[in-house]
A and B are shown apart, each in its own frame.
Chain A
Amino acid sequence: MEVQSLPVDYLPILFQMLVALGFVVLTMTITHLIGPKRKTADKLSPFEAGIEVVGNARTPVSIKYFLVAILFVLFDIEVIFMYPWAVNFREFGVEGLIEMFIFMATLLLGYIYVIKKKAIEWGD
């Protein structure tokens, strides 16, 4: 079962890295050299969605944004587990189905908990 690999087998990886790095360095240098340079005050100012910047960037942001973001990640990740299960659906059979239901039930419990805790309620 042991597959012997020699250092030379890793050469493609080295090439890949060189090409990736080279592309970045090359494009950045070339655009820097041949691109026109017209600097105005407006272009140099930080900018978000076309709106002029007002005040300091370090203002407190409502914790609810973070909460929603984290909950989104949580329930988004769950889908990753669905893909391999769906691909191997036939091989896993009924047992796999039950296991998946347990997994989904646990997540559902978490979801109910989140709603009950009013974590995604914005009204106040």
Chain B
Amino acid sequence: MSALITITILALLLLYLGLFKAKKALLPVALIGLMVALVLSLMEWDSNAAPIFSNMMLYDRFAVAFSGITIFLTILIIALSKDYFERISSNVAEYYALILFSLAGIILMVSYHNLSMLFIGIEIMSVSLYILAGIKKRDFASNEAALKYFLMGAFSTGILLFGVTLIYGASGSFDLEGIKQYILKDPTAVSPLLYTGITLLIVGLSFKVGAAPFHFWVPDVYEGSPSLISAYMSTVVKVAGFAAFLRLIMFSFAPLQDFWIPMIIGMSVLSLLIGNVTAVYQQHFKRMLAYSSISHVGYMLFAIIALNGSSDNAVFVYAAAYSVATIIAFGVLILLQGQVGNDSFDSFNGLARKNPFLALTLTIAMLSLAGIPLTAGFIGKFMMFSKALSSYHIFLVVFAALNAMIGIFYYFKVIVAMYFKEEDRKELIVPVYFKLVLGFSALVTIALGVYPDFIASLI
């Protein structure tokens, strides 16, 4: 819980640092503060945690693990922000503060024990993100992204809230434990209101994680937002959305599996199909990443389909692998956009000769996203597929494996462009912070791929 307080105070502190013109201190203070928050949250590792604040929150292992990974990913992303926000406008402190406020919302989302806390967490996160998506005020794409994200987000929050209301109507409780007890009392004779409520909740949360058929905002918003913010949205926010989703279903709705599993299977299949097939046709790297993030949601939904005690582990590993690789991809993208001004696949031509380090890290990231062995992505996919197989969803796994092959095709486009297409180009300048983050992320990707036990049985 101290992590949440630390992050909130840190955000306020950064606002005031901005007021008193201490621009140089912003980045170091943000990084140090986040590291403190990370340590504080890991210190609350406790297997028999009890709900706190009148049963509003439960900081159990699940919450610690997921708030740990979200804070860790935020550190990586903020480290990439050196000199990034300065190019957009002079209100740099506000951007950092907004990112941290949304992180505070995310901590609530992964540790709620009451549906009202889930709602508040999602709102704190989303409202900050609506602003962040539109911080390039003079850029039409950024404006479009902010508006689209806001409208879609507002609708989905409305749907989510409607679901919460119906569940309260049926069970008489906002508390996860209370809802669970209500369902367990007689799983065959629950009120029909509850079924509607569950459906609406799933729809609302799927909007937030961008699962098909609720994915329409994803490509435009990711493409239009500033790349650093897209990186934040497609990693930290997605992980948080999934954690919230999983927590809700694991805690409360597990006894009603027969009702919601067909829905989740449908969403998973659609996400895989739409994400992968559409990504093949993309000419731009950023848009390709947006569609690939939709397809990765499809894989992550496997853990919910084959729900059991280790689902949280599978999602954790997959989310970590996916996020770290995506951060590398967006890091290279930021450099490319800043210095070449274009992110089509052709602009990667010949990168390996001039920037071997960048090309190597990006290759590792692409291999990991594609799920090639010895990278973290493979372990993530392996865990997901074996979970789905253990609950006898054989056709689903075959379908997903086919989709993974399509994935290899478009991820390798980038590698082919970098290594096998010649072009005269200038060397990209890679700042030290970028070198650190990219190198570290690449190392993490390989380390997880070679020795997954390290986090695979954590929660």
Contact = CB atoms under 8 A, between A and B. Distances in A.
Interface in B9-24: 12, 15-16, 19
A117 B12 contact: no
B172 interface: yes
A1 B172 contact: yes
A81 interface: no
Interface in B140-190: 172
Contacts of A117: 19
A106 B11 CA distance: 12
Interface string B87-131: 000000000000000000000000000000000000000000000
A116 interface: yes
A106 B16 CA distance: 12
A92 to B, nearest CB: 13
A121 to B, nearest CB: 14
Contact of B19 (A1, A2, A106, A113): A113
B16 A2 contact: no
B12 A2 contact: no
A116 B19 CA distance: 7
Given A1-B172, A2-B172, A109 B19 contact: no
A109 B172 CA distance: 38
Interface in A84-124: 106, 109, 113, 116-117
Contacts of A109: 12, 16
A1 B19 CA distance: 53
Nearest to A113: B15
A106 B15 CA distance: 12
Interface string A8-39: 00000000000000000000000000000000
A53 to B, nearest CB: 30
Contacts of B172: 1-2
Q: How large is the interface on A (under 10, 10 to 19, 20 to 34, 35 or more residues)?
A: under 10
Nearest to B171: A2
A116 B94 CA distance: 13
A39 B16 CA distance: 60
A92 B384 CA distance: 49
Nearest to A116: B19
B143 to A, nearest CB: 15
A117 B172 CA distance: 46
A9 to B, nearest CB: 14
Nearest to A2: B172
A26 to B, nearest CB: 32
B241 to A, nearest CB: 27
A110 B16 CA distance: 10
Contacts of B12: 106, 109
A109 B15 CA distance: 10
A109 B12 CA distance: 8
A1 B15 CA distance: 47
Contacts of B16: 109, 113
Nearest to B8: A106
A1 B172 CA distance: 9
Interface in A45-76: none
A60 to B, nearest CB: 15
A32 B172 CA distance: 47
Nearest to B15: A113
Nearest to B12: A109
Contacts of B19: 113, 116-117
Nearest to B172: A2
B171 to A, nearest CB: 10
A106 B172 CA distance: 34
A116 B20 CA distance: 9
A2 B15 CA distance: 48
A113 B94 CA distance: 11
Nearest to A1: B172
10 contacts: A1-B172, A2-B172, A106-B12, A109-B12, A109-B16, A113-B15, A113-B16, A113-B19, A116-B19, A117-B19
Given A2-B172, A106-B12, A116-B19, 6 more contacts: A1-B172, A109-B12, A109-B16, A113-B15, A113-B16, A117-B19
